[in-house]
């Protein structure tokens, strides 16, 4: 048996894939994350509200998701001592809008900075119009990213690492002119997606229910799907075909899971982290700092594909019918989610009532709180969970379960994790690398 180590670069942080081979096929893969920053320890003994400063620094690409999970956990702590903080619609909408901006940024960046360059490399340069720092479309994508974050920053103050959230609402208090500015920026990003990515206007695109209708535009999304089909990528990267999402998403407000196309209720109390294979359990036998998240001992995929399978998105259901949970479905789902988020953001901007209060200050002071709470948010890569434990206003324990530990943890040869299962059986390092990246890896989140 041959074992190779492949260091996967150009992801958020770094990971190592250790691949075992039998008969020229990958028989097992160990996914190693070797950098650990001990953020949960850093949070210990800090004042409760300081977590709003610290947790965004878990991750430079999803800092707003982390701060949102933290504020949800803090507000849940209030709730657990009988103080329910009622947020205005304005505060709720602004929180969602800022999060959407981050997710749109993430998906465009992932597609243009990572997936397309990889396809370019694999396909030996036949797909040439998006080379970083060179091609017009790449600069346009970078500009779209900048603009969508500018839109979010009108409310959050800055991105990354904005800290505009506080118990009971948001700290910003926008004017009507700020909303207009945000609408202009959102429109410019929508235009980029229509003209470069999708090939039709966003409403038309959201109506598309079949993959064959998607393939009529000869623009970046459908061209990349064509290339992936030629490379037979519809057959690679399949995992358990099980999906889960705990946070609220569009019209879905409760935890749900899907096994293939059937959707069931889920309960967050069955979500747990396993330390198996990690240095935390056994410094010698362990090989990674990453934990693994399971639902009732089973692995479930999280992220855009999971969300769209659970919400029964027609296009993604059709893609799934043809390609199952392969890399193509994962990629199309993520790019489709950009359109859904743009549309939703437009609705939010139309409906923010600036006359409402931004924040209702809780009368109960943070320093008097002894409680605990759970904060859940649907981040770009899937469900993110923060658990906070507070005594007299100081943090005694903080637990972060990022989306990536659902997808990128390690199981065992008998029961591999989501990404392991997707990699096992492949016949080249190149494919393993691409399948791995189709999960949108974030090593800084994974190990914190």
Partner 1 sequence: MLTKNGQNCGKIKKRGVNMSTFHSKKTIVWIQGITCNGDSHSFFNYPGMKNFAKNFDIVYHPLLLSDYSLDSILKSTQRFDYLIVEGSFTKVRDYIDRGGHSFEELIENLSKRVEYIICAGSCASFGGIFAQRDKQNITGALFRAEEEGGYWDKNKKVINIPGCPLHPKWLVDTLFMLKDGNTVLLDEYLRPKEEFSYLVHHGCLRNEYFEWKIDTKNFGEKEGCLFYEQGCRGPMTHANCNKILWNEVSSKTRAGSPCLGCTEPDFPRDNVYETKTLMSLPLAPYGISKRAYYTVTGIAKSFKIDRLEKKLIEGYNENN
143: CB partners within 8 A, 6+ apart: 192
Tokens of 409: 């943890």
Shortest distance in whole angstroms from residue 35 CB to partner 1 = 6
Shortest distance in whole angstroms from residue 202 CB to partner 1 = 23
Shortest distance in whole angstroms from residue 269 CB to partner 1 = 30
DSSP 419-439: HHHHHTT-S-HHHHHHHHHHT
From the list 135-143, 225-233, 263-271, 335-343, the region that binds partner 1 by CB under 8 A is 135-143
Region 276-315 residues binding partner 1, contact defined as CB under 8 A:
none
Can you tell me which of 21, 28, 139, 389 binds partner 1, judged by CB under 8 A? 139
Shortest distance in whole angstroms from residue 226 CB to partner 1 = 21
DSSP 324-345: TTSHHHHHHHHHHHHHHHHHHH
From the list 141-149, 236-244, 267-275, 383-391, the region that binds partner 1 by CB under 8 A is 141-149
182: CB partners within 8 A, 6+ apart: 97, 151, 154, 155, 349
Eight-state DSSP code of residue 126: S
Residue with smaller CB distance to partner 1, 72 or 234:
72
Phi and psi dihedrals of 201, rounded to 5? -75, 160
From the list 125-133, 195-203, 234-242, 319-327, the region that binds partner 1 by CB under 8 A is 125-133
Tokens of 94: 């602004």
Asked if 356 and 88 count as a contact pair (C-beta separation under 8 A), the reply is yes
Task: Identify the three-state secondary structure at position 401.
Answer: strand
Q: Residues 157-176 vs partner 1: string with x where CB under 8 A?
A: xxxxxxxx-x-xxxxxx-x-
Residue with smaller CB distance to partner 1, 141 or 323:
141
Region 426-445 residues binding partner 1, contact defined as CB under 8 A:
444
Can you tell me which of 284, 355, 363, 414 binds partner 1, judged by CB under 8 A? 355
Task: Find tokens 């999402």 and name the residue.
Answer: 245
Point out which residues pair with 258 in neighbouring strands: 243, 263
Region 78-107 residues binding partner 1, contact defined as CB under 8 A:
88, 91
Can you tell me which of 123, 129, 146, 370 binds partner 1, judged by CB under 8 A? 146
Shortest distance in whole angstroms from residue 143 CB to partner 1 = 8
Task: Find tokens 């990515």 and name the residue.
Answer: 197
Distance, in Å, from the CA atom of 403 to the CA atom of 400, rounded to the nearest integer, reads: 10
Residue with smaller CB distance to partner 1, 214 or 348:
348
Tokens of 348: 């939010």
Distance, in Å, from the CA atom of 357 to the CA atom of 199, rounded to the nearest integer, reads: 40
Is there binding between residue 361 and partner 1 (CB under 8 A)? yes
Residue with smaller CB distance to partner 1, 77 or 156:
156
**Residue 301, class by beta-carbon neighbours within 10 Å (0-12 exposed, 13-18 middle, 19+ buried)?**
buried
Shortest distance in whole angstroms from residue 151 CB to partner 1 = 9
Q: How far is CA 78 from the centre of its chain?
A: 27
From the list 146-154, 333-341, 380-388, 403-411, the region that binds partner 1 by CB under 8 A is 146-154
Region 393-412 residues binding partner 1, contact defined as CB under 8 A:
none
Region 229-268 residues binding partner 1, contact defined as CB under 8 A:
none
Region 16-75 residues binding partner 1, contact defined as CB under 8 A:
16, 34-38, 41-42, 46-47, 49-50, 52-54, 57-61, 63
């Amino acid at each position: 048996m041959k074992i190779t180590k492949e260091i996967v670069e150009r992801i958020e942080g770094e990971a190592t894939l250790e691949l075992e081979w039998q008969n020229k096929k990958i028989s097992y893969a160990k996914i190693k994350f070797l950098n650990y920053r001990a953020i949960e320890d850093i949070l210990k003994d800090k004042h409760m509200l300081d977590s709003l400063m610290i947790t965004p620094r878990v991750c430079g690409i999803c800092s707003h998701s982390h701060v949102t999970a933290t504020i949800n956990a803090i507000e849940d702590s209030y709730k657990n001592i009988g103080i329910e903080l009622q947020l205005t619609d304005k505060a709720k909408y602004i929180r969602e809008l800022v999060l959407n901006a981050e997710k749109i940024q993430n998906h465009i960046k992932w597609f243009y900075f990572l997936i397309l360059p990889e396809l370019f490399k694999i396909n030996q340069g036949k797909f040439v119009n998006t080379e970083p720092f060179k091609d017009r479309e790449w600069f346009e994508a970078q500009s779209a990213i900048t603009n969508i974050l500018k839109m979010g920053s009108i409310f959050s103050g800055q991105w990354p690492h904005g800290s505009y959230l506080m118990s009971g609402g948001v700290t910003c208090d926008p004017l009507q002119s700020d909303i207009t500015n945000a609408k202009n920026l959102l429109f410019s990003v929508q235009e980029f997606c229509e003209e470069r990515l999708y090939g039709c206007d966003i409403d038309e695109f959201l109506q598309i229910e079949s993959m064959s209708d998607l393939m009529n535009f000869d623009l970046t999304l459908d061209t990349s799907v064509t290339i992936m089909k030629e490379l037979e990528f519809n057959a690679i990267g399949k995992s358990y075909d099980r999906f889960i999402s705990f946070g609220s998403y569009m019209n879905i407000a409760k935890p749900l899971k899907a096994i293939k196309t059937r959707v069931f209720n889920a309960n967050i109390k069955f979500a747990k982290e396993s330390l198996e294979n990690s240095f935390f359990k056994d410094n010698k036998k362990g090989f990674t700092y990453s934990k693994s998240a399971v639902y009732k001992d089973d692995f479930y995929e999280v992220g855009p594909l999971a969300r769209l399978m659970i919400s029964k998105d027609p296009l993604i259901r059709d893609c799934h019918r043809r390609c199952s949970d392969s890399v193509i479905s994962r990629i199309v789902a993520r790019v489709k989610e950009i359109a859904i988020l743009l549309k939703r953001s437009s609705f939010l901007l139309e409906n923010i009532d600036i006359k409402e209060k931004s924040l209702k200050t809780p009368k109960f002071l943070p320093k008097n709180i002894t409680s605990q709470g759970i904060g859940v948010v649907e981040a770009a890569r899937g469900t993110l969970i923060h658990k906070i434990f507070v005594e007299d206003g100081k943090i005694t324990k903080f637990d972060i379960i990022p989306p990536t530990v659902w997808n990128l943890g390690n199981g065992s040869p008998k029961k591999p994790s989501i990404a392991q299962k997707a990699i096992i059986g492949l016949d080249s390092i190149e494919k393993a690398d691409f399948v791995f990246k189709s999960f949108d890896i974030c090593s800084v989140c994974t190990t914190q």
